[in-house]
Amino acid sequence: MNLNQKQRIIGIAVLVILILLLVPLLFTGSAKVIKKSELNTDIPNPPSKPVIKKIKQQNQAKAWVIQLGTFADKDNANNLIKKLQGKGFNAYSKQQKSANKYIYQVFVGPETDYNKTKAWLKNLQDSFKLKGLIIRYKI
């Protein structure tokens, strides 16, 4: 038997098996027909008065941070953070995308007391010779 004959026999066998499996499914009607009466269409009546829940805004504490610098090089930002943390400041950076490259902003804080933040800024300007900017802390 050559290869073509073997392939034809295998193909015919597969078709026969598929027919034997699929034909009974077509004629048994195993799919259940759902009647309209079986559908549950009970829709509750809308409330007589509109229900409006008043949400009280919680007084969110305002917090402030000091932005000390913006760096194109991550290592420079990390070096400043290490120096600030060495002096006891809570320093961190945020990565921002700007003009197809990343920049790294260095912050100190957050602090809820604005006057304390101003004192930190003066201390930072004296210690590191950096002019910072006090801005509202964003979560």
The tens digit of pLDDT for each residue in 14-58 reads 999 888 888 777 776 555 555 665 566 666 666 666 555 544 444
What fold characterizes domain 64-136? Alpha-Beta Plaits (3.30.70)
Residue 55: the pLDDT is 45
Helices (H), the chain: 3-28, 74-86, 114-128
Q: Does 41 or 75 have the greater pLDDT score?
A: 75
CB atoms closer than 10 angstroms to residue 7: 10
Output the pLDDT for position 81: 87
Per the model's pLDDT, the better-predicted residue between 115 and 27 turns out to be: 115
pLDDT at position 56 is 44
Look at the block and give the residue holding tokens 């509109």: 50
For residues 68-73, give the mean pLDDT: 86
What's the chain's average pLDDT?
79
Q: What is the mean pLDDT of residues 69-87?
A: 87
